[in-house]
């Protein structure tokens, strides 16, 4: 039986973990804040598309080091924030044949893992999903759910294809893609404007932002394209247009950063904006709109720390 250990069982981790469990894998979870609830009453997943189900993990753990056995796959689904050391967090349970799958936001988050685990299979994952934690152990899956997985530095291994297959069996669209790093930049085209703008505006929905400041949104998107291209990941010519059109077609939406902001949780400012700008500096790309948004997010965070 395939052994999966989900680390960071918030909305995303619990949701995808529960799907693998439904598809027949033995899925354990490390969940800190909701440990007591989940240990006693399982996860409850409410999906508007797939129905409602309970998810009973094989092992419910407070700490990674409590895990018994060696996982075939680690599903790392924490947020990427400066105070959390991803490498130190997972190292105790990484076995020789463990595939490390990280389903996380941000760009340029690969090298740290490649350096730390040079002999393991590393899989980078992107989740296109709208889901929230609505209470202890309670996950609401609102819309979407597609996953993209790919090996680092590129390609798709047999084991990654197998994982995709498991996800597809469970009812979610999961695609394996050859160049997942490019895919990460592609996702950033949307995240870089909408996440911080939703926070800095004080809580606007995506459609309000787009309808009043489309030009500004496009400027930020274009800068991400310029950076991606300069670091060797050119994106499709029409990607900005496509993102704008798709966002007009989406229901008005609260971004993940806004949800974190409203829940008084740390935001992925560095993983999304800081990393993109550090890449820009490396290749001498000027990105003044992105820089402005990043500077303002850092000021906002400073103010939050003062409270």
Residues that bind a second copy (CB under 8 A): 197, 200-204, 208-209, 212-213, 216, 219, 288-289, 291-293, 295-296, 298-300, 302-304, 306
For the CB of residue 194, give the shortest distance to a second copy in the complex, in Å: 11
Which residue's CB is nearer to a second copy, number 136 or number 266? 266
For the CB of residue 105, give the shortest distance to a second copy in the complex, in Å: 21
Which residue's CB is nearer to a second copy, number 89 or number 207? 207
Which residue's CB is nearer to a second copy, number 168 or number 213? 213
Which residue's CB is nearer to a second copy, number 16 or number 194? 194
Which residue's CB is nearer to a second copy, number 88 or number 304? 304
For the CB of residue 93, give the shortest distance to a second copy in the complex, in Å: 38
Which stretches of 23-143 are DSSP H helices? 35-41, 86-90, 111-116
Which residue's CB is nearer to a second copy, number 35 or number 194? 194
Q: Which of 117, 73, 76, 77 is nearest to 98 (CA)?
A: 73
100: β partners:
74, 122
For the CB of residue 238, give the shortest distance to a second copy in the complex, in Å: 23
For the CB of residue 297, give the shortest distance to a second copy in the complex, in Å: 9
Under 8 Å between Cβ of 122 and 110: yes
Backbone angles phi, psi at 287, to 5 degrees: -135, 75
The three-class DSSP label of residue 200 is helix
For the CB of residue 298, give the shortest distance to a second copy in the complex, in Å: 6
Which stretches of the chain are DSSP H helices? 11-22, 35-41, 86-90, 111-116, 158-169, 180-200, 206-230, 239-249, 256-262, 269, 275-282, 288-306
Which residue's CB is nearer to a second copy, number 4 or number 273? 273
Which residue's CB is nearer to a second copy, number 7 or number 293? 293
For the CB of residue 262, give the shortest distance to a second copy in the complex, in Å: 13
Hey, what are 270's tokens? 């560095």
For the CB of residue 299, give the shortest distance to a second copy in the complex, in Å: 4
Give per-residue burial for 151-171: e unless 16+ CB within 10 Å, then b: bbeeebbebbeebbebbeebe
**Element holding 129 (H helix, E strand):** strand 121-135
Q: Which of 31, 91, 33 is nearest to 60 (CA)?
A: 31
∠ CA 37-41-46, nearest 5°, is 95
CA distance 206 to 293: 16
- Residue 92 to residues 117, 185, 253, 299, Cα–Cα distance (Å): 12, 30, 38, 36
């Amino acid at each position: 039986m395939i052994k999966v250990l989900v680390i960071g069982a918030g909305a995303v981790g619990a949701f995808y973990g529960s799907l693998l469990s439904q598809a027949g894998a033995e899925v354990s979870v490390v969940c800190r804040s909701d440990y007591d609830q989940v240990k006693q009453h399982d996860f409850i997943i409410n999906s508007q598309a797939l129905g409602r189900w309970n998810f009973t993990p094989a092992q419910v753990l407070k700490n990674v080091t409590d895990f018994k056995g060696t996982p075939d796959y680690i599903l790392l689904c924490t947020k990427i924030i400066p105070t959390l050391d991803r490498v130190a967090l997972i190292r105790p349970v990484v076995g020789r044949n463990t595939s490390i799958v990280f389903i996380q936001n941000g760009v340029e988050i690969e090298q740290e893992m490649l350096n730390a685990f040079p002999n393991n299979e590393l899989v980078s994952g992107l989740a296109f999903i709208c889901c929230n934690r609505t209470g202890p152990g309670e996950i609401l899956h609102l819309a979407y759910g597609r996953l993209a997985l790919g090996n680092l530095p590129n390609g798709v291994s047999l084991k990654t294809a197998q994982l995709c297959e498991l996800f597809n069996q469970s009812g979610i669209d999961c695609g394996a893609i050859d160049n997942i790093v490019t895919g990460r930049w592609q996702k950033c085209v949307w995240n870089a404007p909408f996440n911080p703008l939703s926070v800095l505006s004080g809580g606007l929905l995506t459609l309000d932002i787009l309808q009043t400041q489309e030009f500004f949104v496009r400027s930020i998107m274009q800068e991400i394209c310029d950076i991606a291209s300069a670091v060797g990941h050119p994106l499709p010519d029409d990607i900005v247009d496509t993102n704008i059109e798709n966002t007009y077609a989406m229901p008005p939406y609260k971004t993940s950063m806004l949800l974190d902001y409203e829940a008084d949780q740390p935001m992925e400012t560095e993983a999304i904006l800081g990393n993109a700008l550090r890449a820009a500096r490396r290749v001498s790309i000027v990105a003044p709109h992105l820089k402005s948004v990043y500077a303002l997010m850092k000021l906002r965070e400073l103010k939050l720390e003062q409270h």
